[in-house]
Amino acid sequence: MDIKKVPTNTITRDIKSLAEPTGNIYETVVILSKRANQIALAEKKELSKKLEDFRGERDTKDEVFENKEQIEISKYYERQPKPDLQAISEFQAGELYFKVASSDDIVK
């Protein structure tokens, strides 16, 4: 999904149309929350990896606060759409694959 197409603020959505693919709003919410968690973890790993380059044993407090590249990277991630908005956009665009477990799939 193109992140530029994802709204950065919350908008009102029709619950009935959002629940159409699953037939149940609660299943839809579970799918969206799991995808939002996946997106958030991926972003956290990516941000941590980029910020790891700036960490060093010799850094002083003054150097940490004055590192403009680090600040720009952090601001970039703050401006990104929230993971839940990305998950909803992917779901509405039909880009999410999900499988509903049947009673046969459950191991007792």
> By the 8 A CB rule, do 90 and 35 touch?
yes
Residue 13 belongs to some domain of the structure: yes
Residue 106 domain-assigned (yes or no): no
> For residue 108, is it within any domain?
no
Task: Note the pLDDT of residue 28.
Answer: 93
Please state the domain count of the chain.
Answer: 1
Taking only the tens place, the pLDDT of each residue in 42-90 is: 999 998 888 787 766 555 555 555 577 888 888 888 888 889 999 998 9
Does residue 44 form part of some domain? yes
Domain membership flag for residue 100: no
User: Is residue 23 a part of any domain in this protein?
Assistant: yes
Average pLDDT on 1-7 reads 66
- pLDDT at res. 29: 94
Task: Record the pTM.
Answer: 0.75
Distance in angstroms (rounded) separating the CA atoms of residues 50 and 67 = 13
Binning pLDDT at 50, 70 and 90, where does residue 97 land?
A: confident
Residues 6+ positions from 1 with CB-CB distance below 8 Å: 86, 89, 90, 93, 95
Cα separations in angstroms, 36 against 7, 29, 41, 52, 71: 15, 10, 9, 24, 25
